[in-house]
A and B are shown apart, each in its own frame.
Chain A
Amino acid sequence: MDINTLGLPLAVLGAVLAALLAGIGSATGVGMAGQAAAGVVTEDPGKFGKVLIMQLLPGTQGIYGLLIAFLTLSNIGVLGSPVDVSFAQGLMYLFAGSLMGFAGLISAKWQAKASVSGIQMLAKRPDQFAKAMIFPAMVETYAVLALLISILCVANIGKIAL
């Protein structure tokens, strides 16, 4: 069997892992923050808008995962015109996708913890919204960095003939 027939499945696995893991992370994170947010809204429905934003903060990792998955799928021809993907290229797509997947999974969870604390902070100090928002946003930096590297990989792997 030609080993290069494995290229495409590996690349798809990379895309799937990016969306899957980052998606799990964000789902967990948004869920955690949502519980805290619901608690605050029970006491004061007027804070809904603010805590909703806080809840959504850990949701971006899932979107980054989707982005990488989508870019991968279109680069390997699952979406759009078919392309040859060698075994080595497939592996590289897998690495690139896993990077976003794992970084997204873990950063979303920790970002959610910062979000939950921020939501609790808003319960007592609703005037400190901007600060409460910045703490979770600090965590997101690392998801953004992972996204950056993943994008660079996915955008350039096709050009490497291996």
Chain B
Amino acid sequence: MAVLPMQHIRIYALKQNRKAILELLQRRGAVQITDPKTDSPVFEKMDTATAQHTFEKSAQTAQQALAAILELAPEKGGLLKKLEGRRALTLTQYEQGVQKQEEVLKAASRIVLLKKEITDQRAEITRLQTQLDALMPWYGLDVSMRVKETRSTRVFIGSFPQEWTEEELKQALAQQNPNLDVPVCEIISCQNQQTCVFLMCRKCQGETMENALRALGFSYPANPSKVPPQERREQLQARVKEAEALIRQDEKEILSFASKTDDFRFLSDYFTMRTEKYAVLGQLMQSRHTFVITGFIAEKDAPALKAELEGSYGAFVELFAPGEKEDVPVRLQNGRFSSPVEPVLEGYALPARGEVDPCSVMAIFYYVLFGMMLSDACYGLIMVLGCGIVLHKFRHTMESGMKKSLTMFLYSGISTMFWGVMFGGYFGDAVTVIAQTFFHSDFTLEPVWFNPVNNPMLLLVFSLLLGVIHLFTGLGVQFYQLIKQKKWLDAIYDVVFWYLLVGGLIIYMLSTPLVTSMLTLTFMLPAMVGNVGAILAVIGAVGIIATAGRSSRSIGKRLLKGLYGLYGISSWLSDILSYSRLLALGLATGVIASVFNQMGAMAGGGIVGAIFFLVVFVIGHSLNIAINLMGAYVHTNRLQYVEFFGKFYEGGGQKFSPFSLKTQFFTIKEEH
């Protein structure tokens, strides 16, 4: 349970050491730089926007070049690569990379240019194809489409928006104007509501003809070709070939860089780093010969950094504690057991100033609840093996976020195994089904505790009990927080009274036959104890009515607010009932698993039956584990976020984001 204490850090140094100091800070990644607001006439800030922009663009160029290469020559092992995390470079390798950067950037620009050319050529091909498509109906024409007349005739080349035969067309023209004489009427093509025609008439009849044609919906082609269509087609096709050749050539050139993908990765990281560095540079206060860095640093990192900066770089480092109310960035530190749930907490919100880090309390419940929802020993084993193998294989390089999440699933898997053994779930009832179908025996793996399908009420009661414990723990954390802030009275008003009310009510209810028989409990508290519970509950209720409205001054308002505060008991009811999802999801896993097992057993015993069983088994259980794993994850989170956090946690802290190497592909190993 720890939010690391933070300190303000101020580093005063000479400008000649600026580069070295900044690079050291970036490699250490321990300081979050803040932007000091100062109007000092001595210090001013540097404008680094242009430089940042240039670096960003270079990084983008490198990334685009990389993407272009990977598109043509994809690399294997996408997911594994991701699990593997960033590769570590030695400082020497880093220096070598930096020396090559200009040359690599040139190559990257070249690739981006080639990629653009390819895109352009692809667009060109599409355009040519469209033209070819438009030209297709005219292939039968053996003169230019632009012919309008000969010495003594008018020529009409165009199309009608109907399908017509030569005879129909002639008739239609005759109907328009009986005097019209059309010596040449040739249908070039006729398809899809379009008839392309070649018509000729004497020059003197040209205008009459044009009118008649217009009335019939005649139109000239949109892009008439100068040469006969067939010839035009060859021209276009030649251009398509040309473009294709160009694309092939460009792709070949891009592929020639395929062995250098790591160079581009390095370049991308290098410029990302520089962008970050210049962003920081722009925030520094600088005078002619000195500069000042301000920021936050975790208390535990401070002495080492101070010593290093003052020893090797002649800087002066000032450290001081932040004020009571100040907004300080949050960095969590937890042990092996509870750090895996940090990402879950981050998904909600980081603790605000003065709040405790709930990870360690949350962790134990997280694993238990998760395990109960999945509750199958074999599924748990699969989780443990899967996460364990991956964690072990990539233990040196895996990113910490990924590592934490996988560890969380590993621990949840262990808990799943535990509950599976408790409730007798081994791939559901696979053992029983296999024994019956293939060996005709009644062998079953008995649950250590009980089988929830046969006794759902018991599991329900247990789930609700777990819920009450979880919620009371949450309330306990609230108590701890209030005590820590020395708000003694608030601790009594907001926590103790609720303990009395809810706890007392539960004790009282357990002494009534109505509740015990409903929950099929085998015991009942004696009336005496029940009465004590009732008295406690009344004390709690009165206390809440009296104090929940303590922020208001007028008595009437206070009382009303107090009554409304008591109404909060309804949210306790819904919160506790919400834990019935432990039963629902736990049963769902087991029942679906047994549905698949029964389906598998339908083909009976023997070789064929066994093969059928195996197929159904593998597919069915993969599906079941996927669905229920997701369900368990979602609902465990929900119980933590809504029910548990609702009792004490608000969050709202800003994450500590140090000035560091925010690279994508490589990290740099420190050499001491």
Asked whether B661 is an interface residue with its Cβ less than 8 Å from the other chain, the reply is no
A129 touches B457 (CB 8 A): no
Majority secondary structure, B binding face: helix
A67 touches B587 (CB 8 A): yes
A70 touches B591 (CB 8 A): yes
Complex Cα–Cα for A129 and B633 (A): 13
Instruction: Indicate which residue in B580, B584, B634 contacts A64 across the interface (CB closer than 8 Å).
Output: B584
Interface size on A, residues (CB 8 A): 28
B595 touches A66 (CB 8 A): yes
A window 95-131: CB within 8 A of B: 129-131
Asked whether A130 and B641 contact (CB < 8 A) given A137-B635, A144-B580, A144-B581, the answer is yes
Asked whether B348 is an interface residue with its Cβ less than 8 Å from the other chain, the reply is yes
Instruction: Indicate which residue in B460, B598, B627 contacts A56 across the interface (CB closer than 8 Å).
Output: B627
B348 touches A130 (CB 8 A): yes
Could you say which residues of chain B place their CB within 8 Å of the CB of A137? Answer: 634-635, 637-638
Asked whether A57 is an interface residue with its Cβ less than 8 Å from the other chain, the reply is yes
With most chain B CB atoms within 10 A of its CB, the pick from A56, A71, A130 is A130
Which residue on A lies nearest to B595, using beta carbons? A70
Asked whether B652 is an interface residue with its Cβ less than 8 Å from the other chain, the reply is no
Q: Can you list 27 A-B contacts (CB < 8 A)?
A: A53-B634, A56-B627, A56-B630, A57-B634, A63-B588, A63-B592, A66-B591, A66-B592, A66-B595, A67-B587, A129-B347, A130-B344, A130-B348, A133-B637, A134-B637, A134-B638, A134-B641, A137-B637, A138-B638, A141-B581, A144-B578, A148-B460, A148-B580, A148-B583, A151-B583, A151-B587, A152-B457
Complex Cα–Cα for A129 and B401 (A): 14
B641 touches A151 (CB 8 A): no
Could you say which residues of chain B place their CB within 8 Å of the CB of A148? Answer: 460, 580, 583-584
Asked whether A83 is an interface residue with its Cβ less than 8 Å from the other chain, the reply is no
For residue A45, give the distance in angstroms from its CB to the closest CB of chain B: 11
Could you say which residues of chain A place their CB within 8 Å of the CB of B584? Answer: 64, 144, 147-148, 151
Complex Cα–Cα for A152 and B635 (A): 21
Chain B window 638-661, contacts with chain A (Cβ cutoff 8 Å), 1 for yes, 0 for no: 100110000000000000000000
Could you say which residues of chain B place their CB within 8 Å of the CB of A60? Answer: 588, 627, 631
Majority secondary structure, A binding face: helix
Chain B window 591-617, contacts with chain A (Cβ cutoff 8 Å), 1 for yes, 0 for no: 110110010000000000000000000
A79 touches B598 (CB 8 A): yes
Asked whether B577 is an interface residue with its Cβ less than 8 Å from the other chain, the reply is yes
Could you say which residues of chain B place their CB within 8 Å of the CB of A23? Answer: none
Asked whether B568 is an interface residue with its Cβ less than 8 Å from the other chain, the reply is no
Complex Cα–Cα for A129 and B405 (A): 14
B634 touches A151 (CB 8 A): no
Instruction: Indicate which residue in A56, A67, A133 contacts B591 across the interface (CB closer than 8 Å).
Output: A67
Complex Cα–Cα for A71 and B453 (A): 8
Could you say which residues of chain A place their CB within 8 Å of the CB of B592? Answer: 63, 66-67
For residue B610, give the distance in angstroms from its CB to the closest CB of chain A: 22
A155 touches B456 (CB 8 A): yes
Asked whether A141 and B578 contact (CB < 8 A) given A63-B627, A67-B587, the answer is yes
Could you say which residues of chain B place their CB within 8 Å of the CB of A151? Answer: 456, 583-584, 587
Chain A window 43-60, contacts with chain B (Cβ cutoff 8 Å), 1 for yes, 0 for no: 000000000010011011
Complex Cα–Cα for A13 and B229 (A): 70
Could you say which residues of chain B place their CB within 8 Å of the CB of A138? Answer: 638, 642
A134 touches B595 (CB 8 A): no
Complex Cα–Cα for A129 and B631 (A): 15
